[in-house]
Amino acid sequence: MARRRHLSRIAVMQTLFERERRPCDEVESLSRNAEGLGEMDESFAQALLLGITEQEDALRNAIQKHAPGWSLERMDPISRCVLLVGAYELLMLKEAPPAVIMNEAIEIAKEYGTSESGKFVNGVLNAIAQSKPV
């Protein structure tokens, strides 16, 4: 199950990234992004994407609050999308332990982001995990 959820997080991150670049149907994008990844937890991915889009303003505010000196626009786009996924899981979903959520986000950031993405995502999500709920 862990591998399937990992793939779900990647597909959601890719969908958020695509949405930043151009208007898209998020459900179609999620389906398309999932095709090349392997077997993912489709219901988890859909719930994750829906939750992020519904809570996006609160999530962006939490990320901005815990990334002093970094505007959302200044952040690497992959890191920003990974942070949305991680912040949602930490603050709203709470289905996995914070350490698991942060590790997943860091691994995805390292794989898809810049050389500094993993460290950046770790710092912001750690600050969010240590803070009070939104």
Written as six digits, the tokens of 128 are: 């969010």
Residue 39's pLDDT is what? 85
Which residues have a Cβ under 8 Å from the Cβ of 40 and sit 6 or more positions away? Answer: 4, 5, 7, 8, 11, 34
| Single-letter amino acid, residue 42 | E
> Given a cut of 80, is residue 36 above it in pLDDT?
no
> Given a cut of 80, is residue 133 above it in pLDDT?
no
pLDDT, tens digit, 9 for 90 and up, residues 51-106: 999 999 999 999 999 998 899 999 999 999 999 999 999 999 988 999 999 999 99
12: confidence class by pLDDT, cuts 50, 70, 90: very high
Q: Contact, 16 vs 52, CB < 8 A?
A: yes
pTM of the entire predicted model? 0.92
Residue 5's pLDDT is what? 92
- Phi then psi dihedrals of residue 17, to 5 deg: -65, -45
CATH domain 2-130 topology: N-utilizing Substance Protein B Homolog; Chain A (1.10.940)
SS (H, E, C) the chain: CHHHHHHHHHHHHHHHHHHHHCCCCHHHHHHHHHHCCCCCCHHHHHHHHHHHHHCHHHHHHHHHHCCCCCCCCCCCHHHHHHHHHHHHHHHHHCCCCHHHHHHHHHHHHHHHCCCCHHHHHHHHHHHHHHCCCC
Residue 1's pLDDT is what? 55
